[in-house]
Every structure is written in structure tokens, then in C-alpha cells.
Amino acid sequence: MSVEITKLSNGLTIATQTMPSLESAALGVWVKAGARDEGPHEHGIAHLLEHMAFKGTTRRSARGIAEEIEDVGGELNASTSVETTAYYARVMREDVPLALDILSDILLDSRFDEDELAREKHVILQEIGAAEDTPDDIVFDHFQERAFRDQILGRPILGTRKTVRSFTPKGLRSYLGSHYTPEKMVVSATGAVSHQDIVDRVSASFGAVAPGRAAPVEEREPAVYTGGEFREERDLADAQLVLGFEGRPYYKRDFYASQVLSIILGGGMSSRLFQEIRETRGLCYAISAFHWSFADSGIFGIHAATGEEELAELAPVIVDELMRAAEGISEKEVVRARAQMRSSLLMSQESPAARAGQIARQLMFKGELIDNVELMDRLSAITAQRLAGLAETTFVGAKPTLAAIGPLKRLASLGELEERLAGGRAPQVRQARPAAAR
């Protein structure tokens, strides 16, 4: 099940992995352009463009697109992230040509009808309102905004009501022409597919598209982690809290180590934060750690949800657990986390859809694929000592980012948490309550 790769003369990359036992296929077009590539007055246009791609072409109406793919039992969807946009389909073997035809049609010949645009703007305005009404969702937007203050990277993907209302078909075509160029695209297909068939069909549709102008690196605003604090008092039953630090970029030194460290700290029920804070102390009903990577930066964060009374103790205890990680991590924890990450990666490769996305992202951000042997070697090279050192450089004396929504009067200030991270005088912590008293 090796991956075959072909690059067209215009720069578009085609990658396939045949899975002989499958009768279905997952395929899509991944574009190395997302919310981070928007201009000053384009906030939210990448996400709107993704929506509008399904709203009609010269050959197909919006309803026609939906009916054609569903007539054969297929699925068609798309997603926008900070640095990429993906359009993908899942179909049976015999319907791969149809899926490729629809994908090329919506990306190369969308009409951007005024009436459809007006309706889709309204849909996105509803999305913005729904996000604002969902504290455990919007808290992450505020967190990223504070982590990368006054930068494009810190803006929410959906945009604002003002910017969304301002977009026109001309603006959509301008963004499409500037960023949806062949050298920024990867067509990835996995499952019941033939590499040569995919190459022939993609060449026929995308092969004539002219390459874009090679943009200099400085055109993308470099990420500068700033840290900071966001608090919003709301009359809620619980508080949503995200505490984070600067992380590592994609496929750079300590990228995989950061993923492993996040598993040890908050990747499951056996993790340190879950066991100490939820199980032993009963200070929250949900807690997890995560590591987000971007092309030139990253975020290592902890999310927790708790009641008002527990909030005073929660944040300091989280910091204490991060500091303890810097003091030492056991080999048993490393072995367990490596096993979790290994199984997650290998299981995802058994899913055609997950594997297609994995291949596309590796080619876009690394320029090559990482085979399983190399990946397992990298995981095996991650030691307890290295992880403790990573925890020290990531947390101890670091500048944190804090975002919280809910009843926050008892929440420690950012300054108090910084002082605790620096090893100075910290807020007093109550004695842990026995489990029966939760």
C-alpha cells in the first residue's frame, strides 16, 4: 500500500494510495491557503469561499451538486482551517470519476451568484451567532486571539459580521485567483483508486490551470506569540478556561515530542491532569491538553470546565502539574503515551478519508511523506528526559495565555499564574478534598 506521487507541469501534486481490500474511495483537493492568508479586509473570506464552492457552477446548480453525489450514495464536504482549505468526497469505486468531476467543477467554475451569496452570508452570520452563544467553543477563539494578539493568525476563521457582509463575487474571485493556484494544491485519493486513472482525470481538468506567481515568504505575516489574557463574566452554571503557552511548528524539532507530552498531561483518563485534578481533587468535570501546530509556531494548551467554587483552586493546580512535569516524567508514562499516539496514527491510516488528509498535509507542510518506520523511530527516540526538558522550556518562566468565560470572580489573575510559573510566591491552594466529597 505504498503512496504514488505525480507532480504536473503546472505544480499541482497528485498523491494516491491504493487499498486493495476496499470498495470505496476518499479523495479531495487540499489547498495550502486558509484564514491566515486573508488580507486586511478579507477576514472570513476563506471560509465563505469554501461555502460558495457548493452553490452552483456553469454546469450544475447548488441542488444539482448535492443530488448528483447523493444519487450514488456519496458524500461531499469541505473545511477551512488557519492554513489550509479542503474539499473532499467519499464514494464507491465506480463513482470516483463523478467525484473528481464535481470537485474540479466547483473549484474551477463556480458562478458566485449574487442571490446564493446573500443567502450564504446569512448562514455564516448565524454560525457566528451560534459560536458566540457556545462558551466552550468561543473560548478557543479568544484564546488564540490573545496568544497571537493583533495578528491575522489570531483572528477567528468565521470572520466578523461586518467583514462577512462586505464580501462580493469580485472579492471571492480575487482571493480564489490569488491563492487557489496549482502549486498550492494537492489532490489526494485513497482506497479503491488507480493512480494512473486519477492522474489522467486530474490532468484533464486541472492540468491547463496556469501556475500562480510564486509569493515571497514575507507576504505571509510571520507568527509572533504574545500571550495575554481574556476574561468574560457570564451568568453560567460553569466556567470554561483555556491556559496555554507557545508550542512547536509542524514537523520541526519537538513537534512529535510536544504531541506525546500533551498525551501524558491530558490525553486521556490515565493522564496526569485527569487523574490529579478531576479524579483525586474533583475540581472539574472535563480537562484535556492539546498541541496545535502552524507553519512557524504553535500552541500548547489545557482546556478545563468547572464550577464557580472550584475555579479558585483549579488554575493554580494546573500550573503545579505543569511544573511537576518539568521536574520529571516516568518511563512508564512515556511508553503509554507513545502507544496511544502510535495506535492513533496507525488506526487513522486504515480510514481512507483520514489517510487522504494525512498525505495531503505532509506533502504541503513538509514537502515529503513520512513513512511508518521513520515515524515509529521518531517516537521511539522520545525519552522521559527529553520530555521533562521540553516541559521546562515550554512552561517554567514562560509567558502564558489565559482565556476564560463564565463566573470568574474566583479565578486567579494572569500575573499570579505567571508568578507561580516563575517559581515565586503563588496563590494559596486549599487541601484536596477526598473523592467521596466531590
Whether residue 130 is found in the same domain as residue 245: no
In a domain, 40, yes or no: yes
Active site residue ranges? 50
Q: How far apart are CA 129 and CA 114, in angstroms?
A: 23
Share the mean pLDDT of the chain: 93
Whether residue 246 is found in the same domain as residue 158: no
The tally of domains found in the chain comes to 2
In a domain, 376, yes or no: yes
- Give residue 218's pLDDT: 43
Residue 251: pLDDT band (50, 70, 90) is confident
- Give residue 427's pLDDT: 40
Q: How far apart are CA 48 and CA 165, in angstroms?
A: 11
- Reduced to 3 states, what is the DSSP secondary structure of residue 402? strand
| Ramachandran region, residue 191 (left: φ > 0; alpha: ψ -120 to 50; beta: rest) | left
Geometric angle at alpha carbon 69, from 76 and 17, rounded to 5° = 60
C-alpha cell of residue 121: 452570508
In a domain, 305, yes or no: yes
In a domain, 222, yes or no: no
Whether residue 205 is found in the same domain as residue 232: no
Whether residue 26 is found in the same domain as residue 57: yes
What CATH number does residue 316 fall under?
3.30.830.10
Whether residue 31 is found in the same domain as residue 102: yes
What is the residue range of 134's domain? 3-210
In a domain, 113, yes or no: yes
Burial profile 168-193: b = 16 or more Cβ within 10 angstroms, e = fewer: eeebbeebbebbbbbbbbbbbbbbbb
Q: What is the pLDDT of residues 382-426, one digit of tens each?
A: 999 999 999 999 999 999 999 999 999 999 999 999 999 997 433
Q: What is the pLDDT of residues 120-165, one digit of tens each?
A: 999 999 999 999 999 999 999 999 999 999 999 999 999 999 999 9
What is the average pLDDT across 348-365? 94
What is the average pLDDT across 30-50? 95
Whether residue 177 is found in the same domain as residue 319: no
Q: What is the pLDDT of residues 208-224, one digit of tens each?
A: 888 876 444 446 789 99
- Give residue 438's pLDDT: 32
Assign 3-state DSSP to the chain and report helix, strand, coil percentages, each to 5: 50, 20, 35
In a domain, 217, yes or no: no
What is the average pLDDT across 317-345? 95
pLDDT-above-90 percentage for the chain: 89
Question: Locate cell 473545511: which residue?
Answer: 79
- Give residue 213's pLDDT: 63
**pLDDT above 90 for 1:** no
For residues 434 and 188, the model is more confident at 188
In a domain, 219, yes or no: no
Whether residue 193 is found in the same domain as residue 299: no
- Give residue 221's pLDDT: 83
- Give residue 258's pLDDT: 97
Q: What is the pLDDT of residues 256-297, one digit of tens each?
A: 999 999 999 999 999 999 999 999 999 999 999 999 999 999
Whether residue 342 is found in the same domain as residue 289: yes
In a domain, 240, yes or no: yes
